[in-house]
Amino acid sequence: MSQAFPSKPAVTFRLSKAELVLVFITMLWGGTFLIVHNVMTVSGPMFFVGLRFAAAALFVGLVAARSLSGLTFTELKAGVLIGVSIMLGYGLQTMGLQTISSSQSAFITALYVPFVPLLQWLVLGRRPGLMPSIGICLAFIGLMLLAGPEGGALHFSEGEVVTLISAVAIAGEIILISRYAGKVDVRRVTVVQLATASALSFLMIVPTQEQLPDFSWLLLASAVGLGAMSAVIQVAMNWAQQSVSPTRATLIYAGEPVWAGIVGRIAGERLPGVALIGGALIVLAVVVSELKIRRRDEADALQEDEARQREAGL
């Protein structure tokens, strides 16, 4: 008499094409912190953010010009809401870069990792699964070790506070992108959100009493270069998050401070040993989040149960 055994879980590591795209843009994203940190020597934060996203909106607008006439109210609403989040996220982050290092900014910004599933739960009512939850915990511990000049100790200066608030805004951006993913045209929404972020950033120059900078090739080149990069990143995020969940996307984005730390180290910034441990935990968090435990479907399980019942009756 043959004996049926339950199937063993098959653990697989898989990255879809959309997830690989998110990994690539995370590498690009991590490299922008040092550039912005250097630009803050010649420009105020809101003017630079406005110029940066104006360039990005222009790049995407040229590519998507033919489709803009079909803009719907839903796409306009989505673009404006995401644009507000971008302005707050990047604007506050850039303000913080006036007084803290690029690596430190990246680490504190990445605290949006645990913010996303929590906001997602509160706003959308979606609870993260087991493996993403474990990954979130690991990422949070790693980020706490990475944050702060002492590695593992957060000393809340003004720059750190505004950067921490920017992390909440970036978490909101990711949730909003996922909320409207698949319901809107990616190109049209991207143009609206970039244009909104740019316009609002320029408007914020007045209440913040920021002085307009003198002409600088560093400012111009950085704004145009980061504008093009921002355009690519925003289009890629909008496209990829149509099939990648907010929790999974967030854990991929958790690699951002690692890349920023690498770039910062090349530029002369040094991290304490405990901060390197934190970086390793973030990488582990991404790996854990990609673990997939596969079991037989319910039909196969039912067939096995029926087979065992027949054998027991013999």
Report the pLDDT value the prediction gives residue 310, as an integer from 0 to 100: 44
Select from 147, 151, 171 the least CA-distant residue to 161.
Answer: 147
Report the pLDDT value the prediction gives residue 292, as an integer from 0 to 100: 57
Phi then psi dihedrals of residue 293, to 5 deg? -100, 115
pLDDT digits over 47-82, tens only? Answer: 999 999 999 899 989 888 888 888 999 999 999 999
* DSSP character at residue 255: T
Report the pLDDT value the prediction gives residue 156, as an integer from 0 to 100: 66
Report the pLDDT value the prediction gives residue 230, as an integer from 0 to 100: 77
pTM of the predicted model as reported, rounded to 2 decimal places: 0.74
Token readout for 39 is 């630009």
Mean pLDDT of 190-201: 94
Amino acid at 276: L
Work out the number of other CB atoms within 10 angstroms of the CB of residue 123. 12
Contact 256, 26 (CB under 8 A): yes
Token readout for 246 is 């907010």
Three-class SS of residue 56?
helix
pLDDT digits over 150-174, tens only? Answer: 544 455 678 888 988 998 898 888 8
- Cα–Cα–Cα angle for 290, 133, 9, nearest 5°? 50
Between residues 122 and 141, the one the model is more confident about: 141
Which residues neighbour 117 within 8 Å (Cβ) at sequence distance 6 or greater? 128, 132, 133, 136, 246, 247, 250
Report the pLDDT value the prediction gives residue 151, as an integer from 0 to 100: 45
- CA–CA separation, 25 vs 237, rounded Å? 8
Mean pLDDT of 27-48: 88
Which residues neighbour 66 within 8 Å (Cβ) at sequence distance 6 or greater? none
Select from 101, 90, 98 the least CA-distant residue to 49.
Answer: 90
Q: Average per-residue pLDDT in the chain?
A: 78
Place of tokens 């990994």: 23
* DSSP character at residue 65: G
